[in-house]
Structure 1
């Protein structure tokens, strides 16, 4: 996988199981100088994650519900823009929970990284993090915000599609771009508005929605949204 955010989108388009996605994200992380990746979806007190962190750290993180205080997560959600972070900026003294989090993260090789957040549906937040054991992360190759958002959403919707594969026939599965346009339609965006927020040509947006309608046997976009919600695709 080459060192370009667009390669994540291409990989997600072709992936038919989580193993392929994990392998692709690992290669991407390495090409950008990172060692680990983590996909997170937070909604209130709920967390869904798909990552390559050490299992012991995953158990600690989830068991302690560290996503509530994780500075990378809280700052990314607050700013809703790509951020770089380093454990050097986190509290190193005292007896606080945040200090304990810092110590345990460093112990398990999570010292710096880059986090790309995106607003999800129904008040959720979706983010993709690349982490390193080095003291400082390089954010220079993540400057294209629109491409970063597309990469995160491609992973997000491919994982949802794979999860729904047991209840939706394979021929009816949506591509990440089709799912992305459907997501904005579910939020009430029309074709020109979806084109504006995604950077995709309006005619191409319409093409993706038409493909999605055919795959889900929907006559209209509102019916498409309703069917997709029934199957947990949006």
Structure 2
């Protein structure tokens, strides 16, 4: 399992576009025994998604704003810890919107899975779900919550960096690891804390932060964080 997580992080960091990121996460999902993946970021009523689900299901999910009632999203926000789920736990009778959600999910092969939630900035929540068409409720291979969180953040950073490259001058564009270290700094983490969370040496973390600081002409890390927030890059 360590190799699968390492591969996910390495492939995400090396990705130059969303297609490469999707390939990395899809490969990780399949290595863990799942059919699909879905990265979901919620901030208030706003929902952003990046997934390998059938396009018809993605369209229905967004059009009907199912994130409001999705049992997986609700449970993820409540627990903020990795958990397994199955559609068998959702309402199977009645004509409620939740029942309709269940029926549509199962119809599109979303029957069980594992979800890894991570608290983001400004009250946002990031979720990485691995889903299967089989009805099961277990977490095969996935046991290390810290590594799971690293995987989610690697996907998040890569999507942010790919999306931000068109918003900043080339000389200001951050490398994937500079972006990862900056993101943890924005969450209030010190260099040693970031080192523990990312598996990067603390001195190397500081090196990446200093490099990012120079690119944005910031004198201190707090100033770097303020600039990044002001520009809406992260």
TM-score (norm 1): 0.92
How far, CA to CA, are the matches of 1:73 and 1:219 in structure 2?
A: 40
Classify 1:180/1:211 alpha carbon distance in 2 versus 1 (closer, same or farther; 3 Å).
same
8 A contact 1:164–1:231 mirrored in 2? no
1:215 deviates by 2.9
For residues 137 and 172 of structure 1, what CA distance do their matches in structure 2 show? Answer: 45
- Are positions 1:90 and 2:90 aligned together? yes
CA RMSD of aligned residues (A): 1.9
Unaligned runs of 5+ residues in structure 1 are none
Alignment of 1:48-87 (within 5 A): 48-87=48-87
Post-superposition shift, 1:178? 2.4
| Alpha carbons 2:14, 2:176 under 8 Å: kept | no
SS of corresponding position for 1:50: strand
CA apart distance, 1:211:
2.2
In 1: Cα distance, 2:68 partner to 2:126 partner: 14
| Range moving further from structure 2, 4-13 or 36-45 | 4-13
In 2, the alpha carbon distance for the partners of 1:128 and 1:171 equals 31
Match of 2:34 in 1: 34
Decide whether aligned partners of structure 1 residues 172 and 137 sit closer, same or farther in structure 2, where only a CA change above 3 A counts. Answer: farther
Structure 2 distance, partners of 1:175, 1:141, is: 30
Q: Contact 1:158–1:175 (CA<8 Å) still a contact in 2?
A: no
How far apart are the structure 1 equivalents of 2:143 and 2:102? 27
**5 Å matches for 1:188-203?**
188-198=188-198, 200-203=200-203
Q: Deviation per CA, 1:180-222, whole angstroms, max 9, x where unpaired?
A: 3212322333334444555544223212212221333322112
Which residue is equivalent to 1:225? 225
Q: Tell me which residue corresponds to 1:135.
A: 135
Q: Tell me, in whole angstroms, the C-alpha distance in 2 between the residues paired with 1:30 and 1:233.
A: 31
> What is the alpha-carbon distance in structure 1 between the residues aligned to residue 137 and residue 11 of structure 2?
24
Going from structure 1 to structure 2, the CA distance change for 1:155 and 1:171 (only over 3 Å counts) comes to farther
Do residues 12 (structure 1) and 17 (structure 2) align?
no
SS class of match (2:73): helix
Pair 166,64 (structure 1): closer, same or farther in 2 beyond 3 Å:
same
SS of the aligned residue for 2:109 comes to: coil
Aligned to 1:146: 146
Contact 1:38 1:129 in 2 (8 A): yes
Deviations, residues 124-160 of structure 1 (Å, cap 9, x unaligned): 0001111110011541322111111111111111111
Moved more, 176-185 or 44-53: 176-185
Matched residue, 2:117: 117
Q: Distance in 2 between matches of 1:152 and 1:169?
A: 27
Given that residues 80 and 117 in structure 1 are in contact (C-alpha distance below 8 angstroms), is that contact kept between their aligned partners in structure 2?
yes
